[in-house]
Amino acid sequence: MDSPEITLANYEAVAEVANAAQATADIGLFTTNNLWILVATALVFVMHLGFSALEAGFVRRKNVVNILFKNAMIIGIGLLTYWFVGFNLMYPGTNAGGWFVWPEFLLHPTAADMTPAYGDYTYWSDFIFQAMFAATGATIVSGAVAERIKLESFLIFAALFVMIAYPITGFWKWGEGWLDELGFYDFAGSTLVHSVGGWAALAGILLLGPRKGKYTKKGIRPIRGHSMPLAAVGVFLLWFGWFGFNGGSVLSANPEYVSLVFTTTSMAAAAGAIGSAITGYLMFKSHDVSMVMNGILGGLVGITASADAVSVNSAVIIGLIAGMLIPLSITMFDRLKLDDPVGATSVHLVCGIWGTIAVALFGNFESGIGQLSDQLIGIAAIGAFTFSFSFLLFFLLRKTLGIRVSEEEEEKGLDIGEHELPAYT
Amino acid sequence: MDSPEITLANYEAVAEVANAAQATADIGLFTTNNLWILVATALVFVMHLGFSALEAGFVRRKNVVNILFKNAMIIGIGLLTYWFVGFNLMYPGTNAGGWFVWPEFLLHPTAADMTPAYGDYTYWSDFIFQAMFAATGATIVSGAVAERIKLESFLIFAALFVMIAYPITGFWKWGEGWLDELGFYDFAGSTLVHSVGGWAALAGILLLGPRKGKYTKKGIRPIRGHSMPLAAVGVFLLWFGWFGFNGGSVLSANPEYVSLVFTTTSMAAAAGAIGSAITGYLMFKSHDVSMVMNGILGGLVGITASADAVSVNSAVIIGLIAGMLIPLSITMFDRLKLDDPVGATSVHLVCGIWGTIAVALFGNFESGIGQLSDQLIGIAAIGAFTFSFSFLLFFLLRKTLGIRVSEEEEEKGLDIGEHELPAYT
Amino acid sequence: MDSPEITLANYEAVAEVANAAQATADIGLFTTNNLWILVATALVFVMHLGFSALEAGFVRRKNVVNILFKNAMIIGIGLLTYWFVGFNLMYPGTNAGGWFVWPEFLLHPTAADMTPAYGDYTYWSDFIFQAMFAATGATIVSGAVAERIKLESFLIFAALFVMIAYPITGFWKWGEGWLDELGFYDFAGSTLVHSVGGWAALAGILLLGPRKGKYTKKGIRPIRGHSMPLAAVGVFLLWFGWFGFNGGSVLSANPEYVSLVFTTTSMAAAAGAIGSAITGYLMFKSHDVSMVMNGILGGLVGITASADAVSVNSAVIIGLIAGMLIPLSITMFDRLKLDDPVGATSVHLVCGIWGTIAVALFGNFESGIGQLSDQLIGIAAIGAFTFSFSFLLFFLLRKTLGIRVSEEEEEKGLDIGEHELPAYT
């Protein structure tokens, strides 16, 4: 090109290169963002394993197969019902600011859905990530009602809960319903997932009553889990999965946010462990490993609402307080004779509420008081709906199929009673 | 730039920016694609842990160390033999449409191999991903022949199987051999990995005979696995790993395909759980957790051949049928007195065949019948070769070293017999 | 554009497109690189689970809760102390070539830290990845001193070790201190992480003495681990996590290096399994599963210093030798009456030293002898500092709080003694 003149052909060639480069760069960023949603989906899946191991470890040997059966079925039921109706109920794409949209059944992605103009993720990534989330709510309930609930009643509850209750309150916020319009903030679901599971657990616990022999005239009898290693494996896997649960909730691989979320999530879990261990030691004068485990989980639940919206220093404080709440809450529920074999209400309900409040306390909002009010409205509305739905459903099941196994079966264990198979030989 | 004239220097600067942008964008996409192959490799590695836990959980306490020893050794042997010869045997890069190429030994990547012009992955990503795949075949066999096979004979079998048999049939399709030319379709290996492992397992089962006391005059005696939690952990980890097994088989991070594959894979697993649970309940009137577990695995194996080629709705049907096949198949093998302690033949052979047929039924091919014929040819050819190879090899081992432990050792357990170490104290 | 003239406006539009394309491409590459550091962080986190399971499996039933408690607390303590001071101590960003920099407390990222001009990762990714690394050092110690150390003394040791000792020697190399200037090479920490943990373990073992009944007049009594499946799960998870430990240490998703590192890491682990299994069989005439497990770990530790700097063939040799060292080293430590319940000193100290030497033998350096000398200086300096620090700290704890539980508690087990909770019921 030794002439100082530029031909039109040359010019057009450069324009083409520039446009092609932009297109490749767009596809590249889209590919990375989408890949992260998928990897996060796999990590959220691991949480199902984490819950299974945790709950199986915290129950007695005679009820282990029952927990494993329920939790394996919940993933199957959860994914299928979410495909059948839940996804459309939660993300109707219409009625912004509303309360409910009558859903379509099954998935009908349009041609536009299938050709994303290089947004952050595909239709199917969106669906499968959300579907993995949905099933976790029911898994939380599973542990709280363990060792005494009838299998079939529980599976019916889980199916309807994942299919109807979770998506409706999910729509209120993540589906751009009325709570979203209000300004309620819940990044990855301290309320929308965890306290929702916790309220359902509470309804179940109330209607089921405590396990035989837990609350006696002589006081509260601790019923120990049958395998601490299994429970510990579960807790570690939950932490691992939470990288996807919170990190994936950024809904892209945005470096600024995903990096912050990984850090706040980990620091809150770490602080939760220490907060619970110290408080537990002061209360019980004992180095209780189950407090450390539930402290980690409490810290994780606590940071979930605000993981992208608070500083790392604030995350430490949020996690520490969540951890401190664990032994207090476990003691409180026991005093109220609300028997929760795995501590799910303390971890998911109490720390879920705490985390949702913490958003307003530590986040950077125009009006902290205004935000606090929005958070409390969200907590109350979602709590009222979920608890009522769950209570009514468990109540109807109690009136029909029954929800509690016979005393004899409870004594013998549900593994033999419901499955004719011991967990160990 | 207040002059309307454009200088050549300015023009050239823009051309340079455009070219540089294209180069960076190309590197970016290459980096993402390659990273996904590596992350998928790590997930496929997890499947080895999944198989180990599943198989260890499904055998009796006295044979647990033996399973763990075998499965840990198989990864070592598998990676080393694939490095020594398997990779070159399976991907010779020549003789397209052929049956066999005499391989080079060890890896000799050329300069061109080492400087990929921004394709989708590097030479080493390709190798290590394929190597992790290769070893899974032998792991499938390990469970089926458990509790009675001689350790050294099994290790020799596993080495030769991974080194020779798996790469040869792999070449037929993935190495661009005659089955690929024919039009046989097997996305991630319902046949090339799973039924191959299943055929080898069947050959071993036939030559070994059933475990002592399994089939008695009084009928079939169920021999229960020693730890359901361990087996359940294994199944969940296998599902987790399958995201890499199927997702990585896209061989890039292509958003459209990887998203679809994650979704079809998960939905088939979910449907497999439900299909097997219901069928199992109808057949045995019992909520059998091992049916749910094997149903999940059956769904996963079933979708593996078609995960990128069917709709999500079809994936549900494929998985459901795979799940329904599990209790039927387990019952059938037991009636035939083919004793498979972990159900590997039902999961990997039966559902592998089903999945390979399902490609033609649910995929979008020019001629469904024509495709079905190609699929059946592939199933039969690979089955005939693999079964013959395995039968002959086990037969030769039986004639020489022997393949079955003594009655006394079987009674005492292989942990003491072969390893002088109990699994638990 | 049917005129042959090019207007300035057109020209400027193309320039803008080209610049925008470059910006998007830069963000894309940055996003992928940063995402890999975060995924690697999650994988390094899994190593904490791996260590917990491995160590819990290798101790007796009566000391399992104690191991789980310690390892769960170590992550909490490790992340918090690294946030409090460790990160600043290790990466002060000043005093290149030096020995020590008085650190700032807590993290004070500057505005520049928060706006990376599209480097490879963000400030928070860097921090959380390094923080996960830091805590692994203390976890290595945990296994070696198991079954006899006082809980509180161990936790104080772990906190000070992670807070002070690990970051100081880390600064020498990775913080660009004097060993970095010297030319010492340690890719991902055969010395900086693993032998550092090993030296601290050795100091603890020396001051604690062996477990009761291990070395008797009649010879060495093997004390068997209580659960081989748990230990095996731990080893597999450690391998899985090592993909992040080594792969993430590339500090970007660079396709060439990350692919090589995944391959060298896996091949060394495979060769370690085989090297240890064969050597162990020749020495003990028994197929010892714990040798295979520790052989895998030895191979992983051995390749850690050189995973990005040697050929795949060399990685096989490095791993094989590491594996062969395992049974020899375990026997040697037992002859020296240095009682290490999990073999941590053999795996992390001996193979860590071997791996650091192997860099000079197999890497491509200008002067092999010169490099070997640098490596030996690094090994010796870091060993001397870490061993002295640890010995002194354990010694002070022994003089004050005491470091060994009472004979009665050791007999009864630490689970009851320190935690009032059995691992299993």
Instruction: Among B17, B48, B235, B251, pick the best mutation site for testing chain C contact (most C Cβ within 10 A).
Output: B17
| Helix residue ranges per DSSP H, C122-184 | 123-144, 151-160, 166-173, 178-182
For residues B253-271, give the mean pLDDT.
Answer: 98
**Largest separation between any pair of C-alpha atoms in chain C:** 102
Local structure of B227: helix, strand or coil: strand
Interface of A with C in 48-67 (CB under 8 A): 60-61
Percent of chain C with pLDDT over 70: 99
Instruction: Among B1, B16, B60, B83, pick the best mutation site for testing chain C contact (most C Cβ within 10 A).
Output: B83
Please give, rounded to a whole number of angstroms, the shortest distance from the CA of A370 to a CA of chain B: 40
Average pLDDT, chain B: 96
Q: What is the ipTM of this complex?
A: 0.97
B373-394 pLDDT, tens digit per residue, is 999 999 999 999 999 999 999 9
Instruction: Give the pLDDT confidence score for residue A119 in this predicted structure.
Output: 85
CB of A2 within 8 Å of a chain B CB? The answer is no
Domain membership flag for residue A228: yes
Rounded to 5 degrees, φ, ψ at A149 are -85, 145
For residues A270-285, give the mean pLDDT.
Answer: 97
Domain membership flag for residue A2: no
In B132-276, the DSSP E strands lie at: 215-216, 219-220
Instruction: Give the pLDDT confidence score for residue A115 in this predicted structure.
Output: 83
Residue A144 is classified by DSSP as H
Given its phi and psi angles, is residue A209 left (phi above 0), alpha (psi -120 to 50 degrees) or beta?
Answer: left
Instruction: Give the pLDDT confidence score for residue B13 in this predicted structure.
Output: 87
Residues 6 or more apart whose CB falls under 8 angstroms from that of C359 comprise C185, C186, C187, C190, C305, C306, C309, C310, C371, C375
**Which domain, by its residues, includes B45?**
8-419
Burial A267-296 (b: 16+ CB within 10 A, else e): bbbbbbbbbbbbbbeeeeeebbbbbbbbbb
The dihedral through the CA atoms of B304, B310, B313, B318 has a sign that is: negative
Domain membership flag for residue C414: yes
Q: How confident is the model at residue A358 (pLDDT cuts 50, 70, 90)?
A: very high
Paired tokens of C112: 């520049």
For residues A79-92, give the mean pLDDT.
Answer: 97
| Residue from B238, B229, B224 nearest B62 by CA | B224
Percent of chain C with pLDDT over 90: 93
Q: Return the bridge partners of A149, or none.
A: A404
Local structure of A36: helix, strand or coil: helix
Least CB–CB distance from B25: residue in A25, A116, A128: A25
Residues of C in contact with A225 (CB under 8 A): 425
Domain membership flag for residue B398: yes
Whether the CB-CB separation of C360 and C371 falls below 8 Å is answered with: yes
Rounded to an integer, what distance in angstroms lies between the CA atom of residue C3 and that of residue A8? Answer: 8
Whether the CB-CB separation of A348 and A201 falls below 8 Å is answered with: yes
Instruction: Give the pLDDT confidence score for residue A117 in this predicted structure.
Output: 74
For residues A4-17, give the mean pLDDT.
Answer: 78
Triad A360, A365, A367: Cα angle to 5°: 85
CATH of the domain at C122: 1.10.3430.10
A118-140 pLDDT, tens digit per residue, is 789 999 999 999 999 998 988 99
Task: Give helix B289-304 / helix B228-247 axis angle, nearest 10°.
Answer: 10
Domain membership flag for residue A337: yes
Please give, rounded to a whole number of angstroms, the shortest distance from the CA of A153 to a CA of chain B: 13
Domain membership flag for residue B3: no
Rounded to an integer, what distance in angstroms lies between the CA atom of residue A177 and that of residue A192? Answer: 13
For residues B183-205, give the mean pLDDT.
Answer: 98
Whether the CB-CB separation of B360 and B310 falls below 8 Å is answered with: no
What is the model's pTM?
0.98
Integer Rg of chain B from CA:
24
Rounded to an integer, what distance in angstroms lies between the CA atom of residue A197 and that of residue A301? Answer: 12
* Alpha-carbon dihedral angle through residues C44, C50, C51, C55, given to the nearest 10 degrees: 180
**Total count of domains within chain B:** 1
Contact partners of A by the rule of 3+ C-beta pairs under 8 A?
B, C
Q: Which residue has the tokens 């057009």?
A: A12
The per-residue DSSP string of B296-313 comes to HHHHHHHHHTTTTTS-HH
C289-322 pLDDT, tens digit per residue, is 999 999 999 999 999 999 999 999 999 999 999 9
C13-69 pLDDT, tens digit per residue, is 889 999 999 999 999 999 999 999 999 999 999 999 999 999 999 999 999 999 999
Write the burial class of residue B332 (CB in 10 Å: 0-12 exposed, 13-18 middle, 19+ buried).
Answer: middle
Average pLDDT, chain A: 96
Long-range pairs for C64-67: beta carbons < 8 A, 24 or more residues apart: C64/A228, C64/A229, C64/C226, C64/C415, C64/C423, C64/C424, C65/A228, C65/A289, C65/C414, C65/C415, C65/C419, C65/C421, C65/C422, C65/C423, C66/C146, C66/C147, C66/C151, C66/C414, C66/C415, C66/C418, C66/C419, C67/C142, C67/C143, C67/C146
Rounded to 5 degrees, φ, ψ at A339 are -90, 115
Residues of A in contact with C7 (CB under 8 A): none
B289/A123 Cβ within 8 A = no
Q: Nearest-CA residue of chain A relative to C43?
A: A240
Q: Nearest-CA residue of chain A relative to B285?
A: A419
> Residue A4 pLDDT > 70, yes or no?
no
CB of C288 within 8 Å of a chain B CB? The answer is yes
Q: How confident is the model at residue C1 (pLDDT cuts 50, 70, 90)?
A: very low
For residues C163-181, give the mean pLDDT.
Answer: 98
The per-residue DSSP string of C45-86 comes to HHHHHHHHHHHHHHS-GGGHHHHHHHHHHHHHHHHHHIIIII
Instruction: Give the pLDDT confidence score for residue C4 in this predicted structure.
Output: 52
B69/C292 Cβ within 8 A = yes
The dihedral through the CA atoms of A176, A181, A182, A187 has a sign that is: positive
Least CB–CB distance from B68: residue in C254, C289, C312: C289
Local structure of C285: helix, strand or coil: coil
Please give, rounded to a whole number of angstroms, the shortest distance from the CA of A53 to a CA of chain B: 7
Q: Which residue has the tokens 């109350």?
A: A380
Contact partners of C by the rule of 3+ C-beta pairs under 8 A?
A, B
Interface of C with A in 92-121 (CB under 8 A): 106-107, 116, 121
Q: How confident is the model at residue B117 (pLDDT cuts 50, 70, 90)?
A: confident
The per-residue DSSP string of A163-203 comes to IIIHHHHHHHHTTS-HHHHHT---SS-IIIIIIHHHHHHHH
Whether the CB-CB separation of B175 and B103 falls below 8 Å is answered with: no
Instruction: Give the pLDDT confidence score for residue B188 in this predicted structure.
Output: 98
CB of A258 within 8 Å of a chain C CB? The answer is yes
| Residue from C3, C177, C291 nearest B76 by CA | C291
Rounded to an integer, what distance in angstroms lies between the CA atom of residue A245 and that of residue A137? Answer: 13
Instruction: Give the pLDDT confidence score for residue C156 in this predicted structure.
Output: 98
Least CB–CB distance from B39: residue in A10, A14, A39: A39
| Helix residue ranges per DSSP H, A123-165 | 123-144, 151-160
Please give, rounded to a whole number of angstroms, the shortest distance from the CA of C405 to a CA of chain A: 15
Domain membership flag for residue A158: yes
Domain membership flag for residue B305: yes
* Pairs of CB atoms within 8 A across A/C: 199
